[in-house]
Structure 1
């Protein structure tokens, strides 16, 4: 076979009903597609078998994770070109449909395209999914046990790996950028922004929900003199954070626990920060989450909720989590529109006082993380696996493009457990914050 690329390009355009904006290079050395465009490299025909057995994004991702599919060129440009074709199309647009059903269609062109794909893929059983994929989840969705397992899948892949990706700050949420900032400076600015919004002062009690590797509690204790408690479900994160606390001599002011937010019972706290954690809560549990945090705050206490959001869909009942993110990155994670988040926080009794969108900031942060990963690629592969490193590169690069294209956003919501007197304790000019 010496014509796989032109055949594959032709049938992809037939099935998608649109010109392919990238070139294709196949295992036989042939190429086809727009000259000068980024190139999708199909290294093995097994990638096509994955698409036959699992059409759409999941099949493509499995081929990428297995190393059967690669990108020759700028990964962001490639994903940007494919976004409008694969992820942002109306369900009724073009001729895209499940390939398994194509042979039954009356359209001769589609039927011929499907048959050609089968011929290109060659015989064989469904390929086994890469080992990095989550399978056989058990237990009630967002139960204590299942949430702990989901968190472990994402975060317990090795602190050394995350050091290479995140850099010295070890902050795994979007930074707060200004022109000329380094990643470390931007992450410090984000932590300080949260502290100022929360109005932290000496001896305040701070609870950091989903504390990660301890960066927020360390910053708040060191710079603002608070007494901080950080909770996480990741044993590896907790061990790392405790060492950082000890190394900085802050064990008398900072406590790190492996604990679910639903099991915290030592309130009230003066302030609560939840930075990049609420995406794991789930829509069925979100009101419970908001009520729990409300109950842990003293009257007048503040909550800063930093959370990725998505645009609303016509019928929220039919919203589905992205299959790549669910299978490989954040099992059981869910995104919600910021309006729904605000409404549920208010239903829980919190007074929402400020919402700040940081969408572009996350795109910049993700691009820096990808740079870090690429700079330490050999180490990242050694510390995890080639498949895991490819998962993280795709997820971070694709997420950067999604933020840039306004497919997702991220918002900081400041809320107060306003006492019966109605005195919120916030300054009249909220955006000035307290220095």
Structure 2
């Protein structure tokens, strides 16, 4: 009788090649009940041969991500511990495009796949992978609208489960680690309002207004009139309802509109919170020029954006997040963003780094998602819920490892009133 080949040791050999390590930093459980890897290590479970086939065809982050989204693999224990072990191992710990296996390494993967009966055609990507055409010119109005719709038009009820009552989808500002998510999000909005110097009667543009949280709070607490623009129809519908429920329709206007099409300036201040990551490096001069043109002399712009902290090597454009989460998104380094704002004729008044704050925010969102997992999977589909779980957990680890950061950059159009002598005017 032929002895059956245990799957886990073979999978461990494949995974070590994919990760670029001599030994895997995980306890690996296979579909046949076999196990391999160090005892007590974080657990990754391979549920089917299809997971191995995905690694054969895409031996890197993308193959593993597709397998996770499809449910072919799972992290049944401590999610953050399992993902941290993966992301800190070998090639995964290096920023930039993923190095493909050598011919000899690929031969080893192929042999193990054959022994385990995993050979076959390339499995179709999970349907949650972005369908946006990945050719042609990026950041046209049409393609940007499709990219935004892919990410934000997932369902307002789903986002409500993840984000909580504040409905704020950007880094919160935490007084300490015990601060609640809602309090931290409202503290962030208030901080932005103070940095912008908002006063009663001012007219404010909120670029990428989301579900209207900044617009409503700024109007209620600071007495300003707000125009909020977003490319997401679902966001705009909910934001408009929240404005109406707050009795602010005479002071807050929500539009489905590209920022490049806003022509009814000038504005006394502009907030751009978590939006400029969608603009793109090549379009950044136009972004700065258009927002500067919409500001009155002396008006302030607050640009709140994720930054790439890993040096000159950019993120891999074919990795999980560009394909599943933020199609066409681009993170600029802090120096590059400051340079773009200054080159566009804006004076930098203040820069505040909030990297640790975003890690806390993302962990809170993951807790919300896991606490409401069944409902979230029902609302958006299990694959989409798994995308969000993977991306938010991996992003939290990225901020904790200093691979990424997030910064609020406050700038002013020259002319008009001088800013305060000290930043105590807005802290």
Band the TM-score falls in, shorter-chain normalisation = over 0.9
Matched, 1:12 2:18: no
Judged with a 3 Å threshold, the aligned counterparts in structure 2 of structure 1 residues 14 and 391 are, in CA distance, closer, same or farther, namely closer
TM-score (norm 1): 0.93
Matched, 1:433 2:425: yes
Matched, 1:160 2:157: yes
Of 361, 379, 384, which residue of structure 2 is paired with 1:383?
379
Of 177, 181, 184, which residue of structure 1 is paired with 2:182?
184
Structure 2 equivalent of residue 266 of structure 1: 264
Q: Is the CA contact (8 Å cut-off) linking 2:279 and 2:329 kept in structure 1? A: yes
Structure 1 equivalent of residue 219 of structure 2: 221
Is the partner of 2:93 in helix, strand or coil?
coil
Of 90, 100, 112, which residue of structure 2 is paired with 1:98?
100
Q: Is the CA contact (8 Å cut-off) linking 1:363 and 1:404 kept in structure 2? A: yes
TM-score (norm 2): 0.94
Alignment of 1:334-349 (within 5 A): 334-349=330-345
Structure 1 equivalent of residue 33 of structure 2: 29
Structure 1 equivalent of residue 6 of structure 2: 3
Alignment partners' CA distance in 2, 1:111 and 1:285: 43
Judged with a 3 Å threshold, the aligned counterparts in structure 2 of structure 1 residues 383 and 90 are, in CA distance, closer, same or farther, namely closer
Q: Is the CA contact (8 Å cut-off) linking 1:48 and 1:121 kept in structure 2? A: no
Deviations 1:315-357 (A, max 9, x none): 66xx643621111101100111010000011111000111100
Structure 2 equivalent of residue 254 of structure 1: 252
Alignment partners' CA distance in 2, 1:229 and 1:139: 32
Deviations 1:374-397 (A, max 9, x none): 111111111111100000000000
Matched, 1:74 2:71: no
Matched, 1:396 2:392: yes
Is the partner of 2:28 in helix, strand or coil?
strand
Q: Is the CA contact (8 Å cut-off) linking 2:203 and 2:226 kept in structure 1? A: yes
1:70 shift after superposition: 0.1
Judged with a 3 Å threshold, the aligned counterparts in structure 2 of structure 1 residues 322 and 80 are, in CA distance, closer, same or farther, namely farther
Judged with a 3 Å threshold, the aligned counterparts in structure 2 of structure 1 residues 360 and 90 are, in CA distance, closer, same or farther, namely closer
Alignment partners' CA distance in 2, 1:10 and 1:352: 52
Alignment partners' CA distance in 1, 2:260 and 2:114: 50
Is the partner of 1:122 in helix, strand or coil?
coil
Of 330, 333, 339, which residue of structure 1 is paired with 2:326?
330
Structure 2's unaligned 5+ residue stretches are none
1:10 shift after superposition: 3.0
Judged with a 3 Å threshold, the aligned counterparts in structure 2 of structure 1 residues 131 and 426 are, in CA distance, closer, same or farther, namely same
Of 303, 306, 319, which residue of structure 2 is paired with 1:305?
303
Alignment partners' CA distance in 2, 1:128 and 1:198: 48
1:433 shift after superposition: 2.0
Structure 1's unaligned 5+ residue stretches are none
Q: Is the CA contact (8 Å cut-off) linking 1:2 and 1:29 kept in structure 2? A: no
Alignment partners' CA distance in 2, 1:306 and 1:136: 26
Structure 2 equivalent of residue 409 of structure 1: 405
Judged with a 3 Å threshold, the aligned counterparts in structure 2 of structure 1 residues 183 and 314 are, in CA distance, closer, same or farther, namely closer
Q: Is the CA contact (8 Å cut-off) linking 1:308 and 1:409 kept in structure 2? A: yes
1:173 shift after superposition: 0.2
Of 128, 132, 137, which residue of structure 1 is paired with 2:128?
132
Is the partner of 1:149 in helix, strand or coil?
helix
Deviations 1:188-228 (A, max 9, x none): 00000000000000010000000000000101000000000
Q: Is the CA contact (8 Å cut-off) linking 2:300 and 2:411 kept in structure 1? A: yes
Judged with a 3 Å threshold, the aligned counterparts in structure 2 of structure 1 residues 306 and 42 are, in CA distance, closer, same or farther, namely same
Structure 2 equivalent of residue 350 of structure 1: 346
Structure 1 equivalent of residue 93 of structure 2: 88
1:136 shift after superposition: 4.7
Judged with a 3 Å threshold, the aligned counterparts in structure 2 of structure 1 residues 223 and 18 are, in CA distance, closer, same or farther, namely same
Structure 2 equivalent of residue 149 of structure 1: 146
Judged with a 3 Å threshold, the aligned counterparts in structure 2 of structure 1 residues 356 and 136 are, in CA distance, closer, same or farther, namely closer
